[in-house]
Structure 1
């Protein structure tokens, strides 16, 4: 009898735990803005990370959806998307850099309980993004063919498919503002709104992709250019939704008419912080351009296989970036509330979770790569190249998991310059020369590129770990 009573108590307790977990999950998705400077760290991380992880999953759907439909058009179409994405990473780098600066300033002001100052910073961040994107659009519209040629694209891609690059680069302002606005929502504690924005964008993209790529009824088939149009329209509508929500001001960030003026001191501070963030991302992402240029030496099948593998990896790594963004927000808000030890504990908790998650994913990718690659193409020459890339790169997943959390945490503290030096060492002093040496000089072909990625990422994680343990980031003032 006593045994039955104890068993019933255990079952009841487990049911209650599941109920509390479900309640927390629904609260995390509710969209209510919070300040995470008190309470249990685990719950704070959970409440922020759930919508951020889902947001990043939806962001990765863009890349996966495009390559899924475009892969039906052949090697050159996939290679066009891959090469263009290598170029557009410069835009992502600048967008991420501005987002880092925005996160550092807005989260710190929210932690200090100054929502009006946070709103002022938000508008200046948007204006800064607009200025930068105009120049990039000019280059993309008028020089897309030259950029593709420089990247080693063949004549078919340059002469028949360059419209994809023109559209994507020409509409880069959409990507830029999307990143900045979502950083505003996340750093204010409303990660669920960022998630909803990406849901809207992806729903539109998933509908428009097949319609514009292959045509339907009176809608002509635009081919690979249709993917660019669909992506731009989907993201564009998401940006409109963002501005509507910022204008309504239901949360802590409310853009008002009095905010619509240039505050040069704030812009200067944003640019100063962004320089480090942009620098580290340009260094990291431009290294991918360098890797793509080396892989281009081995033909379109190698490029296509690598592109598909990277899209699959992005699908997994972006959710991990969501967890890293949660850590950055917690660091910013807790430093603003003068709680550096709580900030540090949040980072280690996020790092452990990320390492376990990506470690398990790496095992799956290593054991079953063919299944994932063949979801995108039946072409066995592409499949074999994709399998090779997926298996080798996934060996370093555990290191990626910890490294991205540590770097984002340092950025969230307002120290965006230190990670820039770390990236320079890892990606340009180690990765690119090593990739060239292994792939070209030693004749390992594209395998040499993939092994260089693992080695450079391991180096980056080790350097970031040693620096973070010193604790200098706790003293940053922004």
Structure 2
């Protein structure tokens, strides 16, 4: 019998992980596009539906605390989603794309060093966000039009969630590294753990299940923070112990400005796009808030579903980011474009179908949270879905192409399309509410038109060769 030493066992394990990682990269570069994209996206989509379930559960728990808590959650929700979108989508996507491009170019050492840079970036951005919310969060909630009680509820949530958001940032940065190696299964499993734990802890800590204290809004925030801390520890351990196929010997010494620039050049533009998306929602929340707490609660439920479509699109988009990144790194632009269109059209079809369904049957969603007696909130929510729902497909198309553009490293047109969306939403809302007196219905019409602009602009730019022009 052959006996291997612990050192030999560790080396064999590392070699096996490296071989698996190289095999995944070949799959991104050579396998048939549609089946490969579906295979890669499937675990992500499952995990993102788990995130959607967590969002539904959180809104349900808030509704059990009362309409004021639900309105407070609507006020703080854009900032929470900005954290998720930046850490997982914008900066996270840039991390995944940078790692994928390095592996596509067969530079494994660079991929490991980029991982260390990613952790440092995530920690610093988490600190910045926590400080900004502590300084300006309360005033922000007041500007959005919340009343005294709903602002107090939002503050309670924020003062727990944002000091702990470093757990969210480090978890999502680590999962993005793993996705960049072509492994979508491990991130999906970790996120299933995170969101399942969050659903249980948020409800238990908010409503006081069993031996847990009833902390109200503070409990809603503490649940996801604890869950992300658990998931982040698992993801970092997976990478650090070589299970992702990356070797970190000498990685810290190889850190340079170029490593940070590789992530932040794409990540900064992607973050601008994310912030513009969130600012658009925030502005619309502020405008709707002028029509009362009921309208704010109803629109908040509509905006929450819109935000929840982002993780669903991310399920496909994360696979596209890795696949496009690897092909761009290998110089295969034509294949990268085919990946982008295949995944984006699939995302548009899925999310567009959801939007059309709720345009016809809005109470399928609203009825989960609102009693028939909440007439003002129900009326606002129904109006939102009937007007905005048919445009969800354009929103999905634009956002999916945004993820593909991260992989390609070309983020100019996603930012331009977001600027166009914000301008149409704001200007259109002001015209339709003031000059034409359409009230909240006018705001919703402007939101729908803005989604059309968002998806149309970025799609036309890529169709007419933006990636090829940028690469010259």
CA contact (8 A) 1:31 1:192 kept: no
Q: Work out whether 1:75 is the aligned partner of 2:67.
A: yes
> How far off is 1:137 after superposition?
1.1
CA contact (8 A) 1:198 1:238 kept: yes
In structure 2, the partner of 1:292 is: 285
In structure 2, the partner of 1:34 is: 24
> How far off is 1:333 after superposition?
0.9
> How far off is 1:265 after superposition?
2.6
> How far off is 1:317 after superposition?
4.3
CA contact (8 A) 2:50 2:196 kept: no
Q: Alignment partner of 1:332: what SS?
A: helix
TM-score by length of 2: 0.88
Q: Work out whether 1:388 is the aligned partner of 2:383.
A: yes
CA contact (8 A) 2:127 2:166 kept: yes
CA contact (8 A) 1:89 1:286 kept: no
Deviations 1:293-322 (A, max 9, x none): 111111111111112222334444422232
CA contact (8 A) 1:141 1:167 kept: no
In structure 2, the partner of 1:450 is: 444
* Equivalent residue for 1:174, pick from 167, 170, 173: 167
Deviations 1:331-354 (A, max 9, x none): 111111222111111222223322
* Equivalent residue for 2:240, pick from 247, 253, 256: 247
- In 1, Cα distance between the equivalents of 2:315 and 2:362? 24
* Equivalent residue for 2:57, pick from 59, 65, 70: 65
- In 2, Cα distance between the equivalents of 1:191 and 1:476? 29
Q: Work out whether 1:199 is the aligned partner of 2:192.
A: yes
TM-score by length of 1: 0.87
In structure 1, the partner of 2:411 is: 416
Aligned ranges 1:353-392 → 2 under 5 Å? 353-378=346-371, 379-392=374-387
- In 1, Cα distance between the equivalents of 2:253 and 2:171? 19
* Equivalent residue for 1:471, pick from 423, 442, 465: 465
- Change in Cα spacing, 1:94 to 1:311, as seen in structure 2 (3 Å) is closer
Deviations 1:131-173 (A, max 9, x none): 1221221233354323322322211133455211111222222
Q: List gaps (5 residues or longer) in structure 1.
A: 1-29
- In 2, Cα distance between the equivalents of 1:260 and 1:222? 46
- In 1, Cα distance between the equivalents of 2:23 and 2:188? 13
- Change in Cα spacing, 1:438 to 1:92, as seen in structure 2 (3 Å) is farther
CA contact (8 A) 2:204 2:210 kept: no
In structure 2, the partner of 1:348 is: 341
- Change in Cα spacing, 1:215 to 1:442, as seen in structure 2 (3 Å) is same
- In 2, Cα distance between the equivalents of 1:256 and 1:61? 40
- In 1, Cα distance between the equivalents of 2:253 and 2:62? 41
After TM superposition, the structure 1 stretch with the greater mean CA deviation from structure 2, 242-251 or 288-297, is: 242-251
- In 1, Cα distance between the equivalents of 2:335 and 2:441? 42
In structure 2, the partner of 1:84 is: 76
* Equivalent residue for 2:257, pick from 248, 254, 264: 264
After TM superposition, the structure 1 stretch with the greater mean CA deviation from structure 2, 63-72 or 262-271, is: 262-271
Aligned ranges 1:212-227 → 2 under 5 Å? 212-227=205-220
* Equivalent residue for 1:103, pick from 92, 96, 109: 96
> How far off is 1:257 after superposition?
7.2
Aligned ranges 1:39-58 → 2 under 5 Å? 39-58=31-50
> How far off is 1:477 after superposition?
6.4
Deviations 1:381-402 (A, max 9, x none): 3222222212222110222232
- Root-mean-square deviation (CA, aligned residues, Å) is 2.4
In structure 2, the partner of 1:8 is: none
- Change in Cα spacing, 1:441 to 1:86, as seen in structure 2 (3 Å) is farther
> How far off is 1:112 after superposition?
1.4
After TM superposition, the structure 1 stretch with the greater mean CA deviation from structure 2, 307-316 or 344-353, is: 307-316
In structure 2, the partner of 1:189 is: 182
In structure 2, the partner of 1:4 is: none
> How far off is 1:61 after superposition?
2.6
- Change in Cα spacing, 1:362 to 1:218, as seen in structure 2 (3 Å) is closer
> How far off is 1:93 after superposition?
4.9
In structure 2, the partner of 1:148 is: 141
Q: Alignment partner of 2:438: what SS?
A: coil
CA contact (8 A) 1:438 1:444 kept: yes
> How far off is 1:106 after superposition?
0.9
- In 2, Cα distance between the equivalents of 1:471 and 1:269? 23
In structure 1, the partner of 2:432 is: 438
- Change in Cα spacing, 1:344 to 1:83, as seen in structure 2 (3 Å) is same
* Equivalent residue for 2:117, pick from 107, 114, 124: 124
In structure 2, the partner of 1:6 is: none
- Change in Cα spacing, 1:467 to 1:86, as seen in structure 2 (3 Å) is same
> How far off is 1:56 after superposition?
1.9
In structure 2, the partner of 1:336 is: 329
Q: Alignment partner of 2:290: what SS?
A: helix
- In 2, Cα distance between the equivalents of 1:253 and 1:60? 31
